[in-house]
Amino acid sequence: MDAATSARTDPAGEVVDICRDLLRIDTSNYGDSSGPGERKAAEHVAALLEEVGIATTIHESEPGRTNVLAHWGGGSTNGPTRDDTLLIHGHLDVVPAEASDWQVHPFSGEIQDGYLWGRGAVDMKDFDAMVLSVVRARQRAGRVPARPVLLAFTADEEAGGHRGAEPLVRDRRDDFAGVTEAIGEVGGFSTTVRGRRMYLIEAAEKGMAWMRLTARGTAGHGSMINRDNAVTRLATAVARIGAHEWPVQLTPTMQTLLAAVGELAGEEATPANAEALVAEFGPAARMIGATLRNVTNPTMLGAGYKVNVIPTEATAHVDGRFLPGYEDEFFATLAELCGEGVEIDFVSRQPPWETPYDGRLVAAMEQSLLAEDPDAVVAPYLMSAGTDAKHFGRLGIRTYGFAPLRLPDDLDFTGLFHGVDERVPVDALEFGARVLDRFLELA
């Protein structure tokens, strides 16, 4: 086999080039239909799959908001052949980036100092590239998995998936017939605890409630006494919400994770020392710490049109995230914090989910990671933000986050999500492709 053929059949052989090409396609999602959309990236992904003989279909919820589906493996590329299809999903959109804030242009796909830079390098065109590199290499080498696989590259995840995974699940339900398990983003990456690399597999997600609060009162002149001021009523509610101390509440996933950390730290994990154990993750504690409790953050305020006019209405937006199993308690407490005269409407409301950390797929993820990094520890964790897994979970699919990356100890990886100078180590991309290739043998 010559070098060129070997590179084409190496699961990591194309991953960097594919990721660079994807990063150079601007798919910024502004939360509405004002951005470039995902069409160009979706067509590029479809072409990469079609080139190696994998049939694709493209679906749009509206012009430019584009999803790609492809059935692969299991003896057929035309659809699932039995009731144990594996879904592998990744989104094509990215959050916007202001080029003047970056060291390199966010859509240049430059490689510097061993890192590939660009918006989407960790969220999540890196995983899209890993999947495409592995699938293309396997297809060329005739190493098609016996288990049926559904590949899904989606639109609009960064705005809740309402133009992407949600309409796919609603309108293309037949494509998901037979799907029992899934892997997607924000899991399988490494962090370091007490000198040991620990790979975190996402097995749960907090629920999401993007809320608009509205208070109404009596309009009037700003110079006069007004006991029915909408701004005052709203501001009081917002202050209570922002200052509220939510209690530590450990879900089964976090109990398992903290037990693993406690073993490394030499102490038993309890709710009382949960925050101290999470601190062992260093910079990653910023994200993991948010999974110990519900969170409510006021993010936007709006009222009035002139300084001497008391308005009739005032509004605020709050980003609420609630733990699996604590939804009723969360909304009851929120209503108390708002008080009388403040209405709650939802910009987006999505449920939490938690998948048991057991079974063949979990074993496949753990074994594929440990084969590449034998001295590591693997454990589940609860994701503080949201992914498309919320939508696929509504179909009863057991879902995990597994986008494997072996990362340097000093990299603040979680700070790169939606951050300036987003970048991923080149060797981590190649590591991830090798792990995914092995995973497909075991899954």
Residues 120, 125, 127, 130: is their CA dihedral positive or negative?
negative
**CA within 13 Å, CB half, 145:** 25
The Cα–Cα gap between 222 and 227 comes to: 12
pLDDT tens, residue by residue, 24-68: 999 999 998 899 999 999 999 999 999 999 999 999 999 999 999
- CA dist., res. 423 & res. 411, Å (int): 10
Quote the pLDDT of residue 367. Answer: 98
Token match 């919400």: residue?
241
CA distances from 13 to 5, 9, 52, 88, 440 (A): 10, 7, 15, 20, 17
- Tokens 């987003």 identify what position? 422
Answer for the pair 208, 320: CB distance below 8 angstroms, yes or no.
yes
Question: Rounded to the nearest 10 degrees, what angle do helices 426-442 and 15-23 cross at?
Answer: 120
Query: From the CB of residue 239, how many other CB atoms can be counted at a distance below 10 Å?
Result: 12
Three-state helix/strand/coil letters over the chain: CCHHHHHHHCCCCCHHHHHHHHHCCCCECCCCCCCCCCHHHHHHHHHHHHHCCCCCEEEEEECCEEEEEEEECCCCCCCCCCCCEEEEEEECCECCCCHHHCCCCCCCCCEECCEEECCCCCCCHHHHHHHHHHHHHHHHHCCCCCCCEEEEEECCHHHCCCCCHHHHHHHCHHHHCCEEEEEECCCCEEEEECCEEEEEEEEEECEEEEEEEEEECCCEECCCCCCCCHHHHHHHHHHHHHHCCCCCCCCHHHHHHHHHHHHHHCCCCCHHHHHHHHHHHHHHHHHHHHHCCCEEEEEEEEECCCCCEECCEEEEEEEEEECCCCHHHHHHHHHHHHCCCEEEEEEEEECCEECCCCCHHHHHHHHHHHHHCCCCEEEEEEECCCCCHHHHHCCCCEEEECCCECCCCCCCCHHHCCCCCCEEEHHHHHHHHHHHHHHHHHC
Beta-bridged to residue 57, according to DSSP, are 69
* pLDDT tens, N- to C-terminus, the chain (443 residues): 555 666 678 999 999 999 999 999 999 999 988 999 999 999 999 999 999 999 999 999 999 999 999 999 986 544 444 589 999 999 999 999 999 999 999 999 999 999 999 999 999 999 999 999 999 999 999 999 999 999 999 999 999 899 999 999 999 999 999 999 999 999 999 999 999 999 999 999 999 999 999 999 999 999 999 999 999 999 999 999 999 999 999 999 999 999 999 999 999 999 999 999 999 998 889 889 999 999 999 999 999 999 999 999 999 999 999 999 999 999 999 999 999 999 999 998 989 999 999 999 999 999 999 999 999 999 999 999 889 999 999 999 999 999 999 999 988 888 888 999 999 999 999 999 999 999 999 99
Please give the backbone phi and psi of residue 275, each rounded to the nearest 5 degrees, phi first: -65, -35
For the segment 254-308, what is each residue's pLDDT rounded down to a tens digit? Answer: 999 999 999 999 999 999 999 999 999 988 898 899 999 999 999 999 999 999 9
Rounded to two decimals, the pTM is 0.91
Torsion 213-214-220-225 (CA) sign: negative
Picking from 442, 438, 429, the residue whose alpha carbon sits closest to that of residue 129 is: 429
User: Residue 98 in contact with residue 189, Cβ under 8 Å?
Assistant: no
**Residue pointed to by tokens 């009596």:** 218
Which domains occur in the chain, in start order? 3-194+353-442 (3.40.630.10), 206-350 (3.30.70.360)
Please, which residues bridge with residue 401 across strands? 184, 202
